[in-house]
Structure 1
Amino acid sequence: MTSAAHAFIVSPWTARIRIGAFNPAAEHDWPGRRTATLFLHGCPWRCAYCHNPELQSRSSMRLLSWEKIATELATHRHTIDGVVFSGGEPTADSCLPDAILAVKGMGFAVGLHTSGAYPERLEKVLPLLDWVGFDLKSDYDGYDTLTGAPGSAARATRSAQLIVASGVTHEFRLTWHHELLSEDAALLAAHFAQHLGAQRFVLQVFRPEGVTHPAIAAHSLPSADLVEQIRGLFTDFELRGELCGLAI
């Protein structure tokens, strides 16, 4: 074994976690709570409307230290209502469970933003969470095209099932863009969430902040008819305009 490989194996998780950004006072990342939000590097999907594309790669050298984050959390202990792990796709980081336990050890409630790309990893952290924001992308048939990743529909479906079955408080949110999602696909996705028993459903209006894909329109509003059809499926529904989980 080389010395470099040995050093990696024995490195503590605090040296391996890849934190790309931190917002100490987020207003919209966990409904009803003011949170600190950590953005982890890594995502296997390439959605055209992604507003944190700089976090998709795991190889970025723009990293924040865990020690800095822990100090910031201690500083804001009395001004925030919880900590959210976002991304990227936070379950792409193998150090996520350790980080969640560390944050809970500091006395914070913990939330997670996830697309469900890694259901086996999500299943392991669900018992540690107080809230989950699940990014539902499309109906089953449209998933692989939207994410650019074969097999993503099956992974997202399994993750959605795990979230609802876990009993952890959650919301399913679907981002609307007319060039990427048809009204029929949006309705099928909403019916899927209703069938599972999702507690809360959010239809998110596309926002161009952070989006670097050059081929999609900068503005896209869902029709009133689509909004009302989806609203009718859920007792807890929101049409959301503000941008959640933007790395700053």
Structure 2
Amino acid sequence: MTENVTPSVIQHSEVVGGHSPHYFQDKIKIKGFLKTSFIDWDGYITAVVFLPMCNLRCPMCHNHEIVLTPEKYPDIPLEEIEKYLVENRDFIDGVVITGGEPTLHKGLPDFCRWLKNIGMMVKLDTNGTYPERLQHLIDDKLVDFIAMDIKAPLNDEAYRAVSGTSVDVENIRRSISIIMKSGLNYEFRTTVIPTFHTAEDMVEIAKSIEGTKLFVLQQFNPDNTLDPKLGKVEPYSREELEEIAKECKPFVSKVKVRA
């Protein structure tokens, strides 16, 4: 199990008045549902839901089809997800909400609350561009773990290159601060791409999250990227990433390579 997690889960028997999703399902659309994952939340068995839309255009994105052409994918009924989760509560620990960018969806708070009402813990994947929305989710105890992508060193030029669009890096800084002060378990992670990131860049990112619980260096996968030119880029090897991780270690509590 992940260390020091105290999940805020409402037991199913405590829910008053049922848990029908009908009241918010017009505010959130689910385009993908992975019933079982052993890798998306360390120490837990989860289901994963994929939400469409994103405000970034990261060239390395693998989920670009639900971002750019979500209409090609049918909506997955919440009733179908509910049925599976309720029937498998003894097996499934929680639900990972990913995208796309989940915080774009007005129905996200209600969706998280609904998941908790059927006994699920909630992990949120986010790009950190909407700090106030993260703060509300944390204040209302609607998430148990946050995984935030940090695309590049926190300057406008570097972030624009890796995000494919202009980003207010002050919002990124605010999200980092909110998450680190939240009392939740969390991770910050960077997909390390040779054409965008040097070892010095990664150390700069580590310094910007100094004292953080966990910094994850993710190995780049060149398959099916939004920018097809990245398909020709040779990823850093695990050994190279481990060496970069050693350079980052003085600034964070724990650094991990995910390959």
Residue 197 (structure 2) pairs with residue 186 (structure 1): no
Q: What is the 5 A alignment of 1:96-135? A: 96-126=108-138, 127-135=141-149
> What do the CA deviations read for 1:34-82 (whole angstroms, capped 9, x no partner)?
1011111111001111111112248525221111111121122111111
1:30, CA displacement in angstroms? 0.9
Aligned partners of 1:104 and 1:110 also within 8 Å? yes
Residue 54 (structure 2) pairs with residue 38 (structure 1): no
5+ long unaligned stretches in structure 2: 1-21
SS at match of 1:30: coil
What's 2:254 paired with?
236
Residue 170 (structure 2) pairs with residue 157 (structure 1): no
Quote the Cα distance in structure 2 between the aligned partners of 1:166 and 1:25.
28
The alignment of Structure 1 onto Structure 2 pairs a total of residues equal to: 229
Over 3 Å counting, the alpha-carbon distance change for 1:218 and 1:78 in structure 2 is: farther
What's 2:80 paired with?
68
Q: TM-score, normalised by structure 2?
A: 0.82
Quote the Cα distance in structure 2 between the aligned partners of 1:227 and 1:164.
20
Aligned partners of 2:215 and 2:256 also within 8 Å? yes
Q: TM-score, normalised by structure 1?
A: 0.86
What's 1:29 paired with?
40
SS at match of 2:37: strand
What's 2:12 paired with?
none
1:208 maps to which of 222, 239, 242:
222
Residue 243 (structure 2) pairs with residue 219 (structure 1): no
What's 2:64 paired with?
53
5+ long unaligned stretches in structure 1: 1-10, 242-248
Deviates most, 211-220 or 86-95: 211-220
Residue 152 (structure 2) pairs with residue 138 (structure 1): yes
Residue 34 (structure 2) pairs with residue 19 (structure 1): no
What's 1:246 paired with?
none
SS at match of 2:188: strand
1:25, CA displacement in angstroms? 0.6
Identity %: 31
> What do the CA deviations read for 1:92-119 (whole angstroms, capped 9, x no partner)?
1110000000000011111101111211
Quote the Cα distance in structure 2 between the aligned partners of 1:68 and 1:170.
29
Aligned partners of 2:31 and 2:70 also within 8 Å? no
Paired amino acid for 2:113: L
Quote the Cα distance in structure 1 between the aligned partners of 2:214 and 2:182.
15
Residue 93 (structure 2) pairs with residue 77 (structure 1): no
Over 3 Å counting, the alpha-carbon distance change for 1:219 and 1:79 in structure 2 is: farther
Q: What is the 5 A alignment of 1:162-173? A: 162-173=178-189
Over 3 Å counting, the alpha-carbon distance change for 1:233 and 1:119 in structure 2 is: same
Deviates most, 94-103 or 77-86: 77-86
2:102 maps to which of 90, 95, 103:
90
1:26, CA displacement in angstroms? 1.0
Quote the Cα distance in structure 2 between the aligned partners of 1:147 and 1:81.
32
